[in-house]
């Protein structure tokens, strides 16, 4: 037996070295909405859009999910956005002093494409080194053998769709 639910991820949590610094990054740089900051517990929460859409918990030292013995295990999560928004991100992040990375971790000014989904994405890091991703699911047919840059994907799609 398996549950047949239409479930979507609502929240995730990150250990952070400094709650105030992370709260500023996620609200002022990424534009997530402030939800709560409990200084006594050294935690904060921000919303992805409205409170119904999703939430991120930021857990500082001494909190339940916070760093242990001064050590942060870094995590990864992705935020879904439109393709139009994604394509404008590298320039915007660069202007904020945040380098973008490709699929393999190399510094890159273009989105990467993962062909099996297919999806386009931009990767970057928060102040604690958590690997963040903005992702847009593409409408084209999947290509399980493709991982590369947006420009390479567009060329491949144009050639694939060209009549022979």
Residue ranges per structural domain of the chain: 1-71, 74-164
CA-closest candidate to residue 71, choices 61, 81, 63, 80: 61
- Spatial distance between the Cα atoms of 109 and 118, rounded to a whole number of angstroms: 19
Measured at the alpha carbon of residue 41, what is the angle toward residues 38 and 44, in degrees to the nearest 5? 45
Token digits for 21?
A: 């610094």
Instruction: Using the predicted structure, report yes or no on whether residue 164 has a pLDDT greater than 80.
Output: no
Sheet containing 33-38: give its strands across. 11-15, 55-59, 43-47, 33-38
Q: What are phi and psi of 115, to 5 degrees?
A: -70, -30
How many other CB atoms sit within 10 Å of the CB of residue 17?
16
- Spatial distance between the Cα atoms of 148 and 84, rounded to a whole number of angstroms: 19
**In the chain, what percentage of residues exceed pLDDT 90?**
88
Q: Which fold has domain 74-164?
A: 2,3-Dihydroxybiphenyl 1,2-Dioxygenase; domain 1 (3.10.180)
Instruction: Using the predicted structure, report yes or no on whether residue 6 has a pLDDT greater than 90.
Output: no
Task: Compute the average pLDDT of residues 10-19.
Answer: 97
Mean pLDDT, all residues of the chain: 94
Q: Kind of pairing, strands 119-125 and 33-38?
A: unpaired
Instruction: Using the predicted structure, report yes or no on whether residue 4 has a pLDDT greater than 80.
Output: no
Task: Compute the average pLDDT of residues 149-162.
Answer: 90
What pLDDT is attached to residue 146?
Answer: 96
First vs last Cα of the chain: how many Å apart? Answer: 48
Please provide the size of the chain in residues: 164
pLDDT in tens, 50-87: 999 999 999 999 999 999 998 999 999 999 999 999 99
Token digits for 157?
A: 């799609």
Model confidence at 138, pLDDT cuts 50, 70, 90, reads very high
What pLDDT is attached to residue 8?
Answer: 84
The owner of tokens 């928004």 is 85
What pLDDT is attached to residue 2?
Answer: 80
Model confidence at 93, pLDDT cuts 50, 70, 90, reads very high
Model confidence at 152, pLDDT cuts 50, 70, 90, reads very high
Comparing 1-71 with 74-164, is the CATH topology the same?
yes
Answer whether CATH 3.30.2130.10 is correct for domain 1-71: no
Task: Compute the average pLDDT of residues 22-34.
Answer: 97
Q: What are phi and psi of 19, to 5 degrees?
A: -60, -45
The owner of tokens 């909190």 is 63
């Amino acid at each position: 037996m398996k549950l047949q639910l239409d479930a979507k991820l609502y929240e995730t949590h990150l250990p952070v070295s400094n709650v105030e610094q992370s709260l500023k990054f996620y609200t002022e740089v990424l534009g997530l909405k402030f939800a709560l900051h409990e200084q006594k517990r050294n935690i904060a929460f921000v919303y992805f859009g409205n409170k119904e859409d999703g939430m991120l918990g930021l857990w500082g030292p001494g909190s339940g999910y916070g760093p242990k013995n001064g050590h942060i295990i870094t995590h990864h999560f992705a935020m879904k956005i439109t393709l139009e928004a994604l394509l404008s991100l590298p320039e915007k992040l660069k202007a904020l002093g945040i380098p973008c990375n490709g699929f393999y971790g190399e510094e890159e000014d273009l989105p990467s494409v993962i062909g099996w989904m297919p999806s386009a994405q931009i990767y970057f890091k928060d102040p604690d080194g958590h690997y963040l991703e903005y992702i847009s699911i593409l409408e084209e047919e999947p290509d399980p053998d493709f991982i590369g840059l947006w420009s390479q994907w567009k060329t491949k799609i144009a050639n694939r769709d060209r009549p022979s």
